[in-house]
């Protein structure tokens, strides 16, 4: 009987602790910036989120096609939710290290260190479990096949397959990315995401230069107005250099030879 009473008391304490954690302001996320349609699901209804509103443990954040918001938690870490996303905040109330469950769309997470100590957190998706200790990374869950793209901007991230066993793990460092598919082991070949992004950016800039009048990026039209419309060296802002003539001058007339004398007449000496 005494043991039963102890178990009941312990269970009650655990329930009280879970209830405190779920309803605690320190456990909530605070909206720092909000643009477009950003909502939280409560009682199966969407309620608009405004700046400084709180999102409680186990609540779901939903963004529309123009929705974007940045949320902060008590340790200074932040997560940024992009358009057409669905994210559950601290779905596992019994483990405060489980920060987010990303069901759909893109999220950018920045985990702050606890002083000089690591700050272990996890982000879960339908196909991946991402473990971090203080870093910046992006997660994008595809709507069609639930594949997860993980891109690391700073720090180190461990990516484990959520469905194919705990041994299927890859470690990513800054500039690396990987995509996790539902029915495939995590690829051994990592994508140097930073290099690829930079290559694409340079190519797009080259195309923009090719189709831009003048063809010189960042310089504008160079002439009497200087570079980018600012007066050049020696330019006082007055008159500009006259434009060259659009047509070339006509060539001088060509002298024709004298006609020969009529036939049958003697030539004059």
pLDDT of residue 109 exceeding 80, the answer is yes
CA distances from 116 to 73, 121, 130, 157, 195 (A): 18, 16, 21, 18, 30
Binning pLDDT at 50, 70 and 90, where does residue 167 land? confident
pLDDT at 196 over 50: yes
Contact 112, 105 (CB under 8 A): no
Identify whether 156 is part of a domain: yes
Number of domains in the chain: 1
Residue 37 belongs to a domain: yes
**Count of alpha carbons within 13 Å of 21, Cβ hemisphere only?**
16
Residue 174: what pLDDT? 96
Domain span holding position 134: 27-198
pLDDT, greater one: 10 or 73: 73
- pLDDT band for 115, please (50, 70, 90 cuts): confident
Q: Which residue has the higher pLDDT, 17 or 56?
A: 56
Q: Are 194 and 175 in contact (CB under 8 A)?
A: yes
pLDDT at residue 218 is higher than 80: no
The pLDDT assigned to 258 comes to: 58
pLDDT digits (tens, 9 = 90+) for 223-233: 443 333 333 33
The CATH number of the domain holding residue 143 is 2.60.120.1440
Q: Minimum mean pLDDT among 83-97, 123-137, 204-218: which range?
A: 204-218
What pLDDT, on the 0 to 100 scale, is given for residue 148? 97
pLDDT mean over 114-125: 90
Task: Decide if 268 is inside a domain.
Answer: no
Residue 59 belongs to some domain of the structure: yes
Query: Full-prediction pTM beyond 0.75?
Result: no
Confidence class for position 96, pLDDT limits 50, 70, 90: confident
* 124 touches 102 (CB < 8 A): yes
Mean pLDDT of 246-265: 57
Tell me how far apart the terminal alpha carbons of the chain are, to the nearest angstrom.
158
72 is a domain residue: yes
Mean pLDDT of 21-25: 57
Residue 244 within a domain: no
Higher pLDDT, 163 or 202: 163
Mean pLDDT of the chain: 76
Residue-wise pLDDT tens digits, 64-80: 999 999 999 999 999 99
Q: Which residue has the tokens 């190519």?
A: 203
Percentage with pLDDT > 90 across the chain: 51
pLDDT level of residue 94 (50, 70, 90 thresholds): confident
Residue 36 belongs to a domain: yes
pLDDT given for residue 144 in this prediction = 94
CA 75, 76, 77, 80 dihedral sign is positive
pLDDT at 188: 59
Pairing relation of β-strands 45-48 and 29-35?
Answer: unpaired
Is residue 64 a part of any domain in this protein? yes
Average pLDDT over residues 1-19: 44
Structure token digits, residue 68: 């974007």
Using pLDDT thresholds of 50, 70 and 90, give the confidence band for residue 216.
Answer: very low
Say which residue, 5 or 182, is predicted with more confidence.
182
Higher pLDDT, 207 or 111: 111
Nearest in space to 160 (alpha carbons), one of 116, 124, 117: 124
């Amino acid at each position: 009987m005494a043991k039963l009473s102890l178990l009941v008391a312990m269970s009650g304490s655990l329930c009280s602790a879970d209830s405190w954690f779920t309803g605690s302001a320190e456990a909530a996320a605070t909206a720092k910036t909000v643009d477009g349609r950003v909502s939280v699901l409560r009682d199966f209804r969407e309620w608009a989120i405004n700046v400084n509103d709180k999102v409680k443990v186990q609540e779901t954040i939903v963004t529309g096609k123009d929705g974007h918001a940045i949320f902060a938690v008590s340790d200074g870490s932040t997560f940024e939710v992009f358009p057409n996303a669905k994210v559950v905040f601290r779905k596992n109330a019994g483990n405060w290290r489980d920060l987010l469950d990303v069901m759909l769309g893109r999220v950018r997470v920045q985990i702050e260190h606890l002083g000089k100590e690591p700050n272990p957190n996890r982000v879960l998706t339908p196909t991946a479990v991402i473990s971090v200790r203080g870093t910046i990374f992006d997660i994008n869950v595809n709507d069609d096949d639930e594949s997860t793209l993980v891109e690391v901007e700073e720090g180190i991230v461990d990516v484990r397959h959520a469905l194919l066993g705990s041994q299927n793990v890859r470690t990513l460092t800054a500039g690396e990315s990987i995509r996790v598919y539902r029915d495939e082991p995590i690829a051994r070949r990592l994508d140097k995401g930073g290099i690829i992004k930079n290559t694409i950016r340079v190519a797009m800039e080259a195309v923009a230069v090719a189709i831009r009048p003048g063809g010189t990026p960042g310089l504008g039209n160079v002439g009497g107005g200087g570079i980018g419309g600012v007066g050049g060296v020696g330019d006082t802002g007055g008159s500009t250099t006259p434009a060259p003539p659009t047509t070339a001058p006509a060539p001088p007339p060509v002298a024709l030879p004298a006609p020969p004398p009529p036939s049958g007449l003697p030539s004059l000496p």
